[in-house]
């Protein structure tokens, strides 16, 4: 399979009395957008859909775009620390665990296991203080809506000329996407 283009959203999150930087990179089909204006359109469409699942104190700081197989970014969009729009109302926030977004594909690895695409979103809100609590329903719904939209079943996001769908780095297209009910444990490194 051929390499795919990708877009990387860089964030900061309050963590252990300071802030921690993290990012989530989404590969997509359809090739790289033609120019900066098309990258801007795609970035805006993806962020508009993702933002309702991101907490207000999780700040988007930069967006980078990569051509298929490129190591260096071909597109850079600095952001003046724009927060998500998910509103916390008495739920329990945990920065150190993550929501796991996943997309199914029709591809299999060399051992014939199904290939899934995954992304982690930090700043999870739990439904209660119980250590075994699930992610709050409203945040799950917002992230599921985003993951579904960025799939073949959901139609993808347009850059103004081409519609792009979530794909793997080697081309496996995300057939449908969702968000797990349980938080994942992609631990942020300790700073300081």
> What tens digit of pLDDT does each residue of 23-49 get?
999 999 999 999 999 999 999 999 999
* pLDDT value of residue 88: 76
The whole domain housing 86 covers 5-179
Query: CB-based contacts of 44: which residues, under 8 Å, 6+ apart?
Result: none
| Residue 191 falls inside a structural domain | no
Pairing mode of beta strands 176-179, 92-108:
antiparallel
Q: What pLDDT score does 132 carry?
A: 80
pTM of the complete model: 0.91
Name the DSSP class of 150.
T
Tell me the pLDDT tens digit for each residue of 66-120.
Answer: 999 888 999 999 998 899 998 776 656 676 689 999 999 999 889 999 999 999 9
Question: Which pair of structure tokens corresponds to residue 160?
Answer: 């103004």
User: pLDDT, tens digit, for every residue of 126-154?
Assistant: 888 787 889 999 999 999 999 999 999 99
Q: What is the pLDDT of residue 2?
A: 81
Residues in the chain: 192
Domain assignment of residue 50, yes or no: yes
Q: Give the separation between CA 84 and CA 68, rounded to whole angstroms.
A: 28
Position of tokens 């859909």? 49
Confidence of residue 187 (pLDDT cuts 50, 70, 90): low
Q: Is residue 90 part of a domain?
A: yes
Asked if residue 157 lies in contact with residue 149, where contact means CB atoms within 8 angstroms, the answer is yes
Is 184 within the bounds of a domain? no
Binned at pLDDT 50, 70 and 90, residue 171 comes out as: confident
Is position 58 within any domain?
yes
189 occurs within a structural domain: no
Residue 185 domain-assigned? no
Task: Give the number of domains in the chain.
Answer: 1
Q: Is 97 a member of any domain? A: yes
């Amino acid at each position: 399979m051929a390499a795919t283009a990708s877009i990387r959203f860089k964030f900061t999150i309050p963590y252990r009395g300071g802030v921690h930087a993290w990012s989530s990179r989404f590969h997509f089909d359809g090739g790289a957008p033609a120019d900066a204006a098309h990258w801007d359109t795609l970035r805006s469409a993806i962020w508009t859909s993702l933002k309702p699942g991101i907490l207000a104190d999780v700040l988007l700081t930069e967006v980078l775009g990569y051509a298929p197989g490129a190591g260096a970014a071909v597109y850079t969009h600095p952001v003046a620390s724009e927060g998500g729009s998910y509103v916390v109302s008495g739920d329990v926030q945990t920065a150190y665990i993550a929501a796991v977004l996943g997309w199914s594909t029709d591809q299999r690895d060399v051992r014939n296991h199904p290939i899934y695409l995954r992304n982690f979103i930090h700043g999870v809100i739990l439904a209660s203080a119980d250590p075994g609590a699930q992610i709050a329903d409203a945040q799950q719904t917002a992230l599921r809506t985003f993951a579904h939209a960025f799939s073949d079943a959901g139609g993808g996001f347009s850059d103004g000329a081409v519609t792009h769908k979530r794909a793997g780095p080697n081309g496996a297209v995300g057939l449908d996407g969702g968000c797990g009910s349980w938080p994942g444990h992609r631990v942020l490194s300790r700073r300081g």
